[in-house]
Chains A and B, each alone.
Chain A
Amino acid sequence: MALAQSPSPESPAPDAAGPRITGSLRLAARQFPRHRAAMLGLICLALICLAAALAPWVAPYDPVQIKLSAKLKPPSFEHWIGTDHFGRDVFSRLLYGGRTSLSVGLLVVGFAFVMGVPLGLASGYFGGRVDNLLMRLVDAFLTFPPLLLAVAVVGLLGPDIQNVMLALGLVQAPVLARMVRGSTLAVREDVYVTAARALGAGPARIVLSHLLRNVMSPIVVQLTIVFAAAVVAEASLSFLGFGTQPPQPSWGRDMSEARRFLGDAPWMFLAPTVAIMLCVLSINFMGDGLRDALDPRAWRTRRTVSQAES
């Protein structure tokens, strides 16, 4: 016990002495690769992101270059996924479009997380008047039809891809906040939260290491949905003329333009559709894996330590 009273002299080099505790997050990270679907999703998404990021070097053609003599050509060696009604290379547009769509998806997810999670946590943790105020605010946002709200925001700020992201983030953040609040309310009543308080944990510790860690799983699942919704919503906004302005490519835009040529040039439609689908699927798989990795109870345990009884 004498040892316990004096602050350890070796504390600057913690791992040199004493047994190690691997951090929960590090254990979770170790768990993730065991989820096969999640790894597949991660690899697939990484490839798509890489392709989009490297578009200027990878793309065989300029995505906005019009060549009417070659319009609506089916896939060939020259144009891997054919050409569209202006004779533009669909594959090149796909790569460039991915830059728009993916960044919209990721930034909206980021925005929703940064706005929605603290709001929901605060609401659920403090309860009472704070909860009432925040949730009425959220309710106000939720009363608007999501697309209409986005259109209104973009209409106010001008049709620009940044404004589209902001608008979609504003649409998604309240949904996330509401969900986080619900989960927080449930977790807050758990005995371990009281037990932590009985051991002297303050609000910051309770919220960050107990509440947030325990509501992370539903948050991750919700964020994968937000990503998918954002990519699709960007398409809708672009279609309405509020999002990406032609001739700039985006998966959503190209998809809606391709509608008119569905019979003549199905590749025009299929390419962005499949891209969106792959992305959303990958993200969903990753979400599953992340959710399981964050919840130790879902781990497939190797029985290294005997589950001895007391």
Chain B
Amino acid sequence: MPLLSVRNLKTRFATDRGTVRAVDGVSFDLEEGEVLGLVGESGSGKSVTALSIMRLVPEPPGQVTADAMTLDGTDLLALSEAEAREIRGARMAMIFQDPMRSLNPVLTIGRQLTEVLRRHQKLGGAAARRRAVELLETVGIPMPEKRLRAYPHQFSGGMRQRVMIAIALSCNPRLLIADEATTALDVTIQAQIIDLVKRLTRERGTSVIWISHDLGVVAGLCDRVNVMYAGAIVEAGPIRELFHRPSHGYTLGLMGSTPRVDGQGPTKGARRLTPIEGMPPNLIDPIPLCPFLPRCRVSVAACRARPPAPRQFGAGHWASCFADLAPRSAP
């Protein structure tokens, strides 16, 4: 049984201009210890998917429905707010994009770390502090005992993200969701943080959902990837499969707009990055066809006739796309 199972998740927001379908029928499974990438451009529904799983979407104006959404057998949607609080931070945790702003500026690091330990593990003061020191050590913060008394502004961005990771993993959650956790950091720190998350989650067998728009980061970290567009998963597959054989026009577009060290893009012979033209789709009145059609460079006649159904391309690799994209040879 998968750790996390999501079936037909729909998250909508009522606005003055109509209902925004931020997440529109997302289904996926996450196995124990697996690292799943969630990629897509801004507004594609990655973060809202994460917040829906965490039960952090404000209702109203939001409305979250799903045929099933279970974490380790617990039906997440059936939880009351109080029950959800017991699970958040204990069995699932989340780290956010901006490490400069995801720690409370007026509380010490120690206070913020021990708060979670006291809350979920019912540790006493001394035990919580000792555990906090251990945690800071684990995430590679020097002089952890001293640092407990420090405030967030006394840390650099990378250090703060380490603290966030320490807090998120403090109660050994089964699921960790990282929402653009390295986007705000510079590249060397990014690599360190990714290594840290990799090491810690592997040690503990934590499953990870890694949200990013950076294909490079996802390639280095994840076992599988879901590509999201307009609130839906348009392509999913094991990491190597998907990178060697992108099978959706949007995935192809994403890869074409990502710089590569070897200078080879998926678009043949392209020496320059190829941006995806046009604007992100309207989520209030979606077109009844493939949402990517207006921006697609590889569309075929069928695209203009009916919406695409998922097509299988390999073991666990599928895409909702009519176009037959030439398979690329593995390097």
Which among A8, A213, A310 is the interface contact of B123 at CB below 8 angstroms? A8
Interface residues on A, range: 35 or more
Question: Chain A, 199-216, contact with B by CB distance < 8 Å: what is the 0/1 string?
Answer: 111100100011001101
A212 to chain B, nearest CB (A): 10
On whether the beta carbons of B108 and A24 are closer than 8 Å, the reply is yes
Given contacts A191-B98, A310-B189, contact A4 B104 (CB under 8 A): no
Question: Chain A, 18-36, contact with B by CB distance < 8 Å: what is the 0/1 string?
Answer: 1111111001000000000
Given contacts A199-B93, A296-B151, contact A4 B142 (CB under 8 A): no
Question: What residues of A have a CB within 8 angstroms of the CB of B146 in the complex?
Answer: 304-305
Which among A18, A23, A216 is the interface contact of B111 at CB below 8 angstroms? A23
On whether the beta carbons of B162 and A17 are closer than 8 Å, the reply is no
> Is B7's CB within 8 Å of the partner chain A?
no
Which of B112-120, B206-214, B220-228 sits within the interface? B112-120
Which among A12, A13, A27, A196 is the interface contact of B149 at CB below 8 angstroms? A27
On whether the beta carbons of A21 and B106 are closer than 8 Å, the reply is no
On whether the beta carbons of A200 and B127 are closer than 8 Å, the reply is no
On whether the beta carbons of A195 and B107 are closer than 8 Å, the reply is no
CA distance A139 to B93 in the complex (A): 41
Question: What residues of B have a CB within 8 angstroms of the CB of A257 in the complex?
Answer: none
Which of B153-161, B250-258, B296-304 sits within the interface? B153-161
B33 to chain A, nearest CB (A): 17
> Is B75's CB within 8 Å of the partner chain A?
no
Residue ID in chain B nearest A13 by CB atoms: B126
Given contacts A309-B156, A310-B140, A310-B158, contact A209 B107 (CB under 8 A): yes
A113 to chain B, nearest CB (A): 19
On whether the beta carbons of B156 and A199 are closer than 8 Å, the reply is no
Question: What residues of A have a CB within 8 angstroms of the CB of B122 in the complex?
Answer: 7
On whether the beta carbons of B54 and A198 are closer than 8 Å, the reply is yes
Which among B116, B147, B172 is the interface contact of A199 at CB below 8 angstroms? B116
Which among A14, A27, A198, A201 is the interface contact of B94 at CB below 8 angstroms? A198
On whether the beta carbons of B93 and A198 are closer than 8 Å, the reply is yes
Residue ID in chain A nearest B116 by CB atoms: A199
> Is B90's CB within 8 Å of the partner chain A?
yes
On whether the beta carbons of B156 and A310 are closer than 8 Å, the reply is yes
Question: What residues of A have a CB within 8 angstroms of the CB of B124 in the complex?
Answer: 7-8, 10-12, 14
On whether the beta carbons of B158 and A200 are closer than 8 Å, the reply is no
Question: What residues of B have a CB within 8 angstroms of the CB of A143 in the complex?
Answer: none
> Is A297's CB within 8 Å of the partner chain B?
yes
Residue ID in chain B nearest A299 by CB atoms: B151
> Is B323's CB within 8 Å of the partner chain A?
no
Question: What residues of A have a CB within 8 angstroms of the CB of B98 in the complex?
Answer: 191
Question: What residues of B have a CB within 8 angstroms of the CB of A295 in the complex?
Answer: 105-106
CA distance A196 to B126 in the complex (A): 22
Question: What residues of A have a CB within 8 angstroms of the CB of B93 in the complex?
Answer: 198-199
> Is A69's CB within 8 Å of the partner chain B?
no
> Is B125's CB within 8 Å of the partner chain A?
yes
On whether the beta carbons of A24 and B54 are closer than 8 Å, the reply is no
Which among A27, A196, A308 is the interface contact of B142 at CB below 8 angstroms? A308
On whether the beta carbons of B104 and A192 are closer than 8 Å, the reply is yes
B329 to chain A, nearest CB (A): 40
On whether the beta carbons of A194 and B129 are closer than 8 Å, the reply is no
Which of B24-32, B80-88, B278-286, B309-317 sits within the interface? B80-88
Please give the residue numbers on chain B whose beta carbons come within 8 Å of chain A beta carbons, in ascending order: 54, 56, 82, 85-90, 93-98, 101-108, 110-111, 114-117, 119-127, 129-134, 140-143, 145-151, 153-156, 158-159, 162, 164, 167-168, 172, 189, 192
A-B contact pairs, 18 of them (CB 8 A): A1-B172, A4-B117, A4-B127, A7-B122, A10-B126, A10-B127, A11-B127, A21-B129, A24-B106, A24-B108, A199-B168, A202-B82, A304-B146, A305-B147, A308-B142, A309-B159, A310-B159, A310-B162
Top 8 nearest A-B pairs (CB, nearest first) are A11-B124, A8-B127, A14-B125, A199-B89, A200-B89, A21-B110, A310-B158, A18-B126
